[in-house]
């Protein structure tokens, strides 16, 4: 291979690296644009739901089996149905959305029950993230608020906010010792954007709004976040 071809390959690789290392709005469609409801609508729905949790855990479900994404089914339900699902409706929709996978695998009842328990535990954070994103969009009128599944799963950014030409990646999690430990481990899984400032924003007691059985961001949370972006 001559030098010109090698040079071309290297230049192309550098362009790809540069593109992947910098956030560009056009690369990440905003899921919020597909929602027809508000944070208040979500709160009204959550008041009707009773959360259920099980102590069932199976190492195969937690660590060994690669299941289809939990995130996509949750947001597809919200877009199609125009509301937040209950935990049980969410799990049923997840199974139906991945029908071919589950028919092919033919899991036994122990696996399915452990998977249900895991999905039920995942539910609060998914609701919390989308409620937070909608609340930010409603309160930060001079900013662009973006939620994108790829940003979440590939970059570890729960919500991205563009304000005054700057990008902020907001990382949301409950401020418990266990959750903070999990968050620290996740930091090493994702390559960060060079042009995005990451903000760790745990849910602590002073930033909490209790809605039904769920803890959402409220109180001084959005005032505090705005101050961190100044």
Question: pLDDT digit string (tens) for 114-131?
Answer: 999 999 999 999 999 999
Centroid of chain to Cα 148: 8
Q: What is the value of pTM for the model shown?
A: 0.85
- Domain edges within the chain: 30-229
Backbone phi, then psi, for 52, in 5-degree steps?
Answer: -125, 140
pLDDT value at 50 more than 70: yes
User: What is the C-alpha to C-alpha distance for residues 57 and 156, in angstroms, rounded to an integer?
Assistant: 25
Q: What is the pLDDT of residues 143-202, one digit of tens each?
A: 999 999 999 988 889 999 999 999 999 999 997 656 555 555 555 556 789 999 999 999
């Amino acid at each position: 291979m001559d030098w010109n071809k090698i040079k071309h390959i290297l230049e192309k690789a550098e362009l790809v690296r540069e593109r992947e290392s910098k956030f560009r709005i056009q690369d990440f469609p905003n899921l919020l644009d597909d929602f027809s409801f508000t944070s208040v609508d979500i709160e009204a729905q959550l008041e009707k739901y009773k959360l259920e949790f099980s102590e069932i855990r199976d190492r195969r479900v937690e660590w060994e089996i690669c299941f289809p994404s939990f995130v996509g089914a949750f947001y597809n339900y919200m877009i199609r149905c125009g509301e937040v699902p209950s935990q049980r409706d969410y799990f049923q929709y997840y199974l139906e959305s991945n029908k071919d996978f589950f028919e092919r695998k033919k899991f036994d009842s122990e696996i399915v029950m452990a998977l249900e328990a895991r999905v039920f535990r995942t539910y609060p954070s998914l609701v919390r993230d989308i409620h937070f994103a909608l609340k930010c969009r409603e309160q930060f009128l001079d900013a662009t608020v973006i939620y994108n599944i790829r940003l979440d799963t590939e970059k570890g950014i729960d919500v991205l906010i563009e304000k005054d030409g700057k990008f902020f990646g907001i990382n949301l999690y409950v401020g418990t010792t266990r959750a903070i430990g999990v968050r620290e481990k996740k930091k090493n899984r994702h390559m960060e954007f060079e042009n995005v400032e990451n903000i760790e924003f745990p849910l602590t007691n002073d930033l909490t709004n209790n809605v039904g059985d769920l803890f959402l961001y409220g109180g001084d949370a959005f005032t505090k976040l705005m101050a961190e972006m100044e």
